[in-house]
């Protein structure tokens, strides 16, 4: 089982996904704008899918291969989205980062805070060596969030997915523990000046 702490960033709280999040996930994931650039999120989002998703995520957490966090706005407590560390592979010490924000949380810079906290958790809390993430090429905002958090684009997977009848190119990004540690040391040194 994966232990999931609660994290707080400047404006957000990240806590383990719970069944009590079902209605918020169902409502937010039902927005066409969310499904539009998510590789595996269907639209329309089927009734009851949020509950099934949460149950699957909890089973994967118990099995030690996934950790999913609910993103909440800290002062008002409203649901902002989800971030997931999935397909955790202990043999090769790596995991996939996946995230989305509810439409009303867009444009606030929240995901940069989230990714920074979850990357730290992946390397320090889970002891991973490599984190990777995918995004559809036509969603450059996700690429910018990854790049700002030290990820490097490793490749382009041409026509990797079919979304609504169209083949889509997908970018693959990754960050290594040693790269993250070096960047962290630089930030610490800069603060000390």
Instruction: Write down the architecture of domain 7-192 according to CATH.
Output: 3-Layer(aba) Sandwich (3.40)
Rounded CA gap, 50 and 25, in Å?
Answer: 6
Q: Residue 59 is inside which H or E element, if any?
A: helix 49-62
Report domain extents, the chain.
Answer: 7-192
Q: What is the pLDDT of residue 143?
A: 97
Q: What is the pLDDT of residue 186?
A: 84
Q: What is the pLDDT of residue 184?
A: 87
pTM comes to 0.93
Residue 170 C-beta-side C-alpha neighbours within 13 Å: 17
| Residue segments in the chain with a per-residue pLDDT below the cut of 70 | none
Q: Residue 39 is inside which H or E element, if any?
A: none
Reduced to 3 states (helix: H, G, I; strand: E, B; else coil), residue 51 is: helix
Distances (CA, A) of 36 to 39, 111, 141, 190: 8, 18, 13, 40
Q: What is the pLDDT of residue 42?
A: 87
CA 41 to chain centre: 14
* DSSP secondary structure of 118-181: HHHIIIIIS--SEEEEEEETT-HHHHHHHHHTT-EEEEEEEEEEEETTEEEEEEEEEEEHHHHH
């Amino acid at each position: 089982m994966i232990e999931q702490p609660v994290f707080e960033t400047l404006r957000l709280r990240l806590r383990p996904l719970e069944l009590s999040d079902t209605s918020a996930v169902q409502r937010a994931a039902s927005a066409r704008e969310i499904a539009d650039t998510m590789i595996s999120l269907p639209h329309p989002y089927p009734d009851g899918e949020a509950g099934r998703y949460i149950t699957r995520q909890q089973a994967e957490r118990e099995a030690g291969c996934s950790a999913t966090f609910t993103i909440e706005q800290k002062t008002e407590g409203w649901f902002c989205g989800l971030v997931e560390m999935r397909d955790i592979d202990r043999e090769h010490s790596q995991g996939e980062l996946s995230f989305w924000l509810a439409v009303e949380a867009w444009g606030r810079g929240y995901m940069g805070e989230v990714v920074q906290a979850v990357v730290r958790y992946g390397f320090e809390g889970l002891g991973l060596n490599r984190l990777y993430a995918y995004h559809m090429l036509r969603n450059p905002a996700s690429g910018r969030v990854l790049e700002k958090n030290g990820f490097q684009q490793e490749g382009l997977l041409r026509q990797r997915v079919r979304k609504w009848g169209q083949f889509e190119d997908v970018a693959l990004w990754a960050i290594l523990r040693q790269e993250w540690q070096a960047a962290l040391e630089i930030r610490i040194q800069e603060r000390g000046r």
